[in-house]
A and B are shown apart, each in its own frame.
Chain A
Amino acid sequence: DSGVTQTPKHLITATGQRVTLRCSPRSGDLSVYWYQQSLDQGLQFLIQYYNGEERAKGNILERFSAQQFPDLHSELNLSSLELGDSALYFCASSVVGGRAGDTQYFGPGTRLTVL
């Protein structure tokens, strides 16, 4: 158990819908990262937040957005869903998220299925 929690574990929805994925980082960690992992694919970095502020942006679609709240939990919002958005979405947290490269602790993931 990494200490990072993600809800829900599974999500099934239809094309065109909007969903919200939630992540609670490890106690004391200030940075949250979001990744997308499609079937048999690697980890695609989406976005990073540090202490409530956006820190780095990866290949995140305009239909996707995220935020980190004052209590440091984070939400990833996916809208106008398409079949291709079906994937495993991981959240990870790290102590600082500085440029030296903190260790990232990954949550169990949310499996999103778009029908």
Chain B
Amino acid sequence: GQQVMQIPQYQHVQEGEDFTTYCNSSTTLSNIQWYKQRPGGHPVFLIQLVKSGEVKKQKRLTFQFGEAKKNSSLHITATQTTDVGTYFCAGWSRASYDKVIFGPGTSLSVIP
């Protein structure tokens, strides 16, 4: 069945450094969403990407959808302690019978 992978699993950065997490699907996605879960909290929607090659920005966060719609990335510029949490990608595809598939997440720690 369809799989969605994320790398890295964990990332520790010094405050001010950049951070990138990558999401890869075994099949072509209809769209992809990114969610953030703070420690002890619940996932919160960040953004949705639909078009091939789409790039969206939210302040210091840049999201990209691959040309083949099988991968995506989230890049954070100049991390802050408020960026701490786990970032999940979630994809829909016909291969998964339109069930949402969440990646395992990348846990980000920011050292002040």
- A112 → chain B closest CB, angstroms: 15
Q: Let me know if A45 and B42 touch, CB within 8 A.
A: no
Q: CB-CB < 8 A to A92: which residues of B?
A: 43
Q: CB-CB < 8 A to B97: which residues of A?
A: 56
Interface footprint category on A: 20 to 34
Q: CB-CB < 8 A to B104: which residues of A?
A: 41-42
Chain A 84-115 near chain B by CB (<8 Å), digits 1 or 0: 00000010100000011101111111000000
Q: Let me know if A45 and B100 touch, CB within 8 A.
A: yes
Residue of B30, B42, B45, B88 near A107 (CB, 8 A) is B42
Q: CB-CB < 8 A to A109: which residues of B?
A: 42
Q: Let me know if B44 and A106 touch, CB within 8 A.
A: yes
Residue of A33, A90, A101, A106 near B31 (CB, 8 A) is A101
The size of the chain B interface, using a CB distance under 8 A, is: 23
A2 at the interface (CB under 8 A from B): yes
Chain A 46-57 near chain B by CB (<8 Å), digits 1 or 0: 001000000011
B13 at the interface (CB under 8 A from A): no
Q: Let me know if A104 and B45 touch, CB within 8 A.
A: yes
Residue among B30, B31, B99, B102 having the largest count of chain A Cβ atoms under 10 Å: B99
B28 at the interface (CB under 8 A from A): no
Residue of A43, A99, A103, A107 near B92 (CB, 8 A) is A99
Q: CB-CB < 8 A to A56: which residues of B?
A: 97-100
Q: Let me know if A48 and B99 touch, CB within 8 A.
A: yes
Residue among B45, B92, B100, B104 having the largest count of chain A Cβ atoms under 10 Å: B100
B85 at the interface (CB under 8 A from A): no
- A96 → chain B closest CB, angstroms: 12
A8 at the interface (CB under 8 A from B): no
Q: Let me know if A100 and B100 touch, CB within 8 A.
A: no
Q: Residues of A with Cβ closer than 8 Å to B?
A: 2, 33, 35, 41-45, 48, 56-58, 90, 92, 99-101, 103-109
| New A-B pairs, 4, CB < 8 Å, besides A90-B42, A103-B48, A108-B41 | A43-B90, A43-B102, A99-B98, A101-B48
